Amino acid sequence: MKRMTNILAALLMCSAAAVNAQTPVYLDESQPIEARVKDALSRMTTAEKIGIIHAQSKFSSPGVQRLGIPGIWCTDGPHGIRPDVLWDEWEQAGATNDSCVAFPALTCLAATWNPDMAALYGKSIGEEARYRNKNVLLGPGVNIYRTPLNGRNFEYMGEDPYLTSQIVIPYVQGVQENGVAACVKHYALNNQEVDRDHVNVLVDDRTLHEIYLPGFKAAVVDGGAWSIMPGYNKYDGDHACENSVLLLDILKGDWDFDGVAISDWGAVHNTEKVASNGLDMEFGSWTNGLNWGASNAYDDYFLAKPYEKLIAEGKLPMSDLDDKAARVLRLIMRTEMNRNRPYGSLNSDEHYAAARRIGGEGIVLLKNDKNLLPVADDVKNILVVGENAIKMMTVGGGSSSLKVQRETLPLEGIVANAAGRGVDVRYERGYVGDVTGEYNGVTTGQDLNDARSADQLIADAVKAAKEADMVIFVGGLNKSDHQDAEGADRTDFALPYNQDAVIEALVAANPNTVVVNLTGNAYSMPWLDKVPAVVQGWYIGSEAGNALADVIFGDVNPSGKLPITFAKSLTDYAAHATNDPTMYPGVNGDVVYKEGLDVGYRHTDKLKPSRVNFAFGHGLSYTTFKLGKATLSGTFSEADGVTVEVPVTNTGDRKGAEVVQVYVRDLKSSVVRPVKELKAFDKVELEPGQTADVKLHLDKSAFAFYDPATKLWTVEPGKFEILVGTASDNISTRLPLTIKDTLTWSDAVR
Ligand code: BGC
């Protein structure tokens, strides 16, 4: 019997060994990814390597069929999972299982000032991508808000590199927990849509490193992003996809990026350059290199046959192709070939709850005189006015356009919430803006036409306003061209469609008027002194109406803070201060960032008297907070930095959350330093009367500038000031700090 058992055991061992011997390393998930990548690469022909580094359809690339290696499916991004399009067309594939939850736009996420919300966002959208079998989510976007005219600002995280960095890291990690790669975009300096395919950005090295790169660096180095999307624009003469400084020196050199640089769709122009300067995958070229608009031109992409030919002729080295193919294989192993990844979920209750929660936390209460909000108990009838109360905002705007399973409109949210309180709601249009509702074949199905004249619309709204206890105007921008949309910038800082006149008329008719604007950008507010309450609502997605109503009626106590400066006029932004066309939108193809570091509050906080309506970091609550005197715990050291402590008390009668913000100011420096820079923040939720001792850590990087001469981050000895407050223009404690030694370090992460 024992002998039998031994024979059986020996047989079993033999067959296990046979299976192992037959299982190639690249398919063996017990092996380290690098060993699998190396093994797969060693088995591939040149043609197969070329095959996996460019698209085969609008959003996919092939794998290696002979080896059973699957391809990659990408999807926009960044606010929800885009509906499927035809193989080689932008039009809809006509699928019936590709509706999604639209999450709030990234400006709204940034306005939460809450990394936990970014983690929830990333996890949720990653689950939707995973369920839809997408391997790469084309987002998030982290381009800095340089001008309020940029049509794509709504897809980004505002004007501050530190805030952007703190939000992008958990977003990327949350997405990738699902075995879906985040693709951080648009690397780098894609700060305007005017002439976006060719505009050449000229910016000094310090500004590049201190303002425009930190969000990308955080995503790559701290978030571990598996892919990144070089954009359409040029930097210093070369397109981003063909830019050796951005891709080889910084991304793959200093930051040690081991993922895939995926071109923006159609952003590649030249085989030699793109092959040699660090791009790994080409998508969307829509050309055979000669004719724009050729169909199914994939084999003729710059990184397809033309590249293979140059390698065969010995004009380009195989080593670069091997590196690109290895990176693509690594991405496939991390995503599609990781059989242990979760399954994902689509349109789940949890995702709607996440969208509503993030939306509610990102909404910013800008002004609330007479505590007009939340809606008081004695309000019995409300008039809602404005097109954005009834317009779907998830369709349009460019590649972030979605096909939602459902979208609660602001009016619907307000009506539903009011009904539970016995409050009547009436609606008046007030103005007609954009009645279209179609993007790449997805239609809203809404008929927003209204034949009344502009005067009649105002007259009707005013009449109803006089009869209401309270008026809620819901306006702003929308997702059509020259508003908040890809491919073009705004042409005006003012709200469009006569809205300023509508607001003036409403507040004259009824002083209890609240203005709620849905935008991804700042705008002028000529009516601000007359309007008692103003809410910045962003684009909130599927749960827009519910999230807005939560705040308006007080179910959610607002805690959002502006991630952008709301200046009074366009010329209060440094890029526009002198109306110099070389600074915006550029002349003869060049746009020069002459304002340097003076982006957002770094510029406006220097202007006396103040030129802002609402500063960066500003946002009110239905309760009140008091920051006690801040102190430093200990002295600064290179290894430990320094910790700021500040007691925060909820002095009102409702639970609420406050964001403590710490800015650093260098008092004496050999180079010009910004007037202040955000270097730490923390959101703390407090019960009425409760006090929390908030501790915020500043490491050495909080005091550094980038020295272009040495390429080193540098802290100069001397006096600094640490500013603690609740907005860039609301500082309650200024703490002196002296640093004794010069500190320097390189950007290289290795
Ligand atoms: C956009 C990208 C997008 C891509 C694919 C491009 O036009 O700039 O952000 O991911 O299209 O839709």
| pLDDT tens-digit readout, 180-217 | 999 999 999 999 999 999 999 999 999 999 999 999 99
What pLDDT, on the 0 to 100 scale, is given for residue 295? Answer: 76
Residue nearest to atom 12 of ligand 1 (CA): 399
With a 6 Å cutoff on the Cβ, whether 682 touches ligand 1 is: no
Residue 264 among the catalytic residues: yes
Peptide bond before residue 717 is cis, with ω within 30 degrees of 0: no
With a 6 Å cutoff on the Cβ, whether 74 touches ligand 1 is: no
With a 6 Å cutoff on the Cβ, whether 193 touches ligand 1 is: no
Helices and strands in the chain, H and E counts: 18, 31
In the predicted structure, residue 20 carries a pLDDT above the cut 80: no
What pLDDT, on the 0 to 100 scale, is given for residue 291? Answer: 62
Confidence of residue 749 (pLDDT cuts 50, 70, 90): low
Instruction: Using the mean position of ligand 1's atoms as its centre, give its distance from the Cα of residue 427 in Å.
Output: 37
697 phi/psi in degrees, rounded to 5: -95, 140
Residue nearest to atom 7 of ligand 1 (CA): 265
Of residues 98, 160, 254, 264, which has the active-site annotation?
264
Compute the average pLDDT of residues 667-674: 96
**3-class SS at 4?**
helix
349 phi/psi in degrees, rounded to 5: -55, -40
Confidence of residue 713 (pLDDT cuts 50, 70, 90): very high
| pLDDT tens-digit readout, 89-140 | 999 999 999 999 999 999 999 999 999 999 999 999 999 999 999 999 999 9
Confidence of residue 748 (pLDDT cuts 50, 70, 90): confident
| pLDDT tens-digit readout, 477-498 | 999 999 999 999 999 999 999 9
Instruction: Using the mean position of ligand 1's atoms as its centre, give its distance from the Cα of residue 434 in Å.
Output: 23
In the predicted structure, residue 535 carries a pLDDT above the cut 70: yes
d(CA 493, CA 514): 21
With a 6 Å cutoff on the Cβ, whether 676 touches ligand 1 is: no
In the predicted structure, residue 13 carries a pLDDT above the cut 70: no
Atom of ligand 1 nearest to the CA of 231: 8
Instruction: Using the mean position of ligand 1's atoms as its centre, give its distance from the Cα of residue 239 in Å.
Output: 16
Residue 190 · residue 196 · CB < 8 Å:
yes
d(CA 665, CA 146): 21
**3-class SS at 634?**
strand
Least-confidence region, from 6-10, 82-86, 537-541, 545-549 = 6-10
Q: Which helix (H) or strand (E) holds 350?
A: helix 349-362
Higher pLDDT, 749 or 350: 350
What pLDDT, on the 0 to 100 scale, is given for residue 79? Answer: 97
**pLDDT mean across residues, the chain:** 95
Question: Distances from the Cα of 4 to the Cαs of 1, 8, 10, 12, 472, in angstroms?
Answer: 5, 6, 10, 12, 85
With a 6 Å cutoff on the Cβ, whether 76 touches ligand 1 is: yes
- 60 pairs with which residues across the strands? 73
In the predicted structure, residue 17 carries a pLDDT above the cut 90: no
| pLDDT tens-digit readout, 622-644 | 999 999 999 999 899 999 999 99
What sections of 468-563 are H helices per DSSP? 499-509, 544-552
Instruction: Using the mean position of ligand 1's atoms as its centre, give its distance from the Cα of residue 266 in Å.
Output: 9
Confidence of residue 7 (pLDDT cuts 50, 70, 90): very low
With a 6 Å cutoff on the Cβ, whether 235 touches ligand 1 is: no
Angle at 106 between CA 116 and CA 661, to 5 degrees: 55
Residue nearest to atom 4 of ligand 1 (CA): 265
Confidence of residue 4 (pLDDT cuts 50, 70, 90): very low
d(CA 502, CA 500): 5
What pLDDT, on the 0 to 100 scale, is given for residue 2? Answer: 44
| pLDDT tens-digit readout, 280-329 | 999 998 765 556 667 788 999 999 999 999 999 999 999 999 999 999 99
Testing ligand 1's pocket by substitution, the residue of 138, 232, 282, 401 carrying the most ligand atoms inside 8 A of its CB is 138
Instruction: Using the mean position of ligand 1's atoms as its centre, give its distance from the Cα of residue 455 in Å.
Output: 40
What pLDDT, on the 0 to 100 scale, is given for residue 573? Answer: 98
Could you give the percent of the chain with pLDDT greater than 90? 94
With a 6 Å cutoff on the Cβ, whether 399 touches ligand 1 is: yes
Instruction: Using the mean position of ligand 1's atoms as its centre, give its distance from the Cα of residue 500 in Å.
Output: 33
Compute the average pLDDT of residues 598-602: 98
Could you give the percent of the chain with pLDDT greater than 70? 96
